[in-house]
């Protein structure tokens, strides 16, 4: 059995389990979190929702990347194995977007906790966009 075959079976098992656990976490945040967590729920929803979408995407169109003699090879190992070559040009950047989005969610959660707990500053989207527009001098 090839490594790609093993990865294909693992993708079809692990990512649906991960998507289910993220869905359960989303419901727990919605139903069971206390009123003290009201200001922090938005960030938890962001991380949970982003991870859920990433799991669904990887289960459907996951990739495997290998380097052989200095050449990068990208192959589909999700549910759809035999897709045309141009789909990799579209789907691989989407996968990278999800990977970097999941990594950046950790930084967003840290900064949000810092401002909310340490500085007692409530952050909303309008305030962030206002400061962004001031910085770019529009």
| Separation CA 51–CA 11 (nearest Å) | 15
pLDDT at residue 24, as a whole number: 92
pLDDT tens sequence for the chain (138 residues): 566 567 667 777 888 898 899 899 999 988 888 887 777 788 888 888 888 998 888 888 777 778 889 898 877 776 776 777 777 788 888 888 888 988 888 888 888 878 777 777 777 767 766 766 776 665
Does residue 28 belong to any structural domain of this protein?
yes
Tell me whether residue 121 is in a domain. no
Element (H, E) at 65: strand 63-68
27 domain-assigned: yes
Position 101 in a domain? yes
Residue 129 counted as domain residue: no
Of the candidates 78, 77, 51, 53, the one whose C-alpha atom is nearest the C-alpha of residue 66 is 77
**Beta pairing, strands 63-68 & 71-76:** antiparallel
Please provide residue 117's backbone torsions phi and psi, each rounded to the nearest 5 degrees: -90, -50
Q: Is residue 67 part of a domain?
A: yes
Alpha-carbon span 27 to 124, nearest angstrom: 23
pLDDT of residue 64: 76
Instruction: Please tell me the predicted confidence (pLDDT) of residue 5.
Output: 66
Q: Which domain holds residue 93?
A: 3-105
Q: How many domains does the chain have?
A: 1
């Amino acid at each position: 059995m090839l490594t790609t075959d093993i990865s294909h079976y693992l993708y079809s098992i692990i990512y649906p389990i991960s998507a289910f656990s993220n869905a359960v976490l989303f419901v727990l945040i919605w139903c069971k979190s206390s009123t003290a967590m009201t200001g922090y729920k938005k960030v938890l929803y962001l991380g949970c929702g982003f991870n859920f979408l990433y799991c669904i995407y990887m289960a459907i169109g996951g990739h495997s990347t290998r380097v052989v003699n200095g050449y990068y090879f990208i192959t589909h190992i999700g549910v759809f194995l035999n897709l045309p070559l141009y789909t990799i040009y579209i789907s691989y950047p989407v996968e990278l977007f999800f990977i970097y989005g999941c990594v950046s969610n950790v930084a967003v959660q840290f900064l949000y906790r810092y401002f909310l707990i340490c500085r007692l500053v409530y952050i909303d989207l309008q305030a962030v966009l206002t400061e962004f527009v001031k910085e770019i001098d529009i």
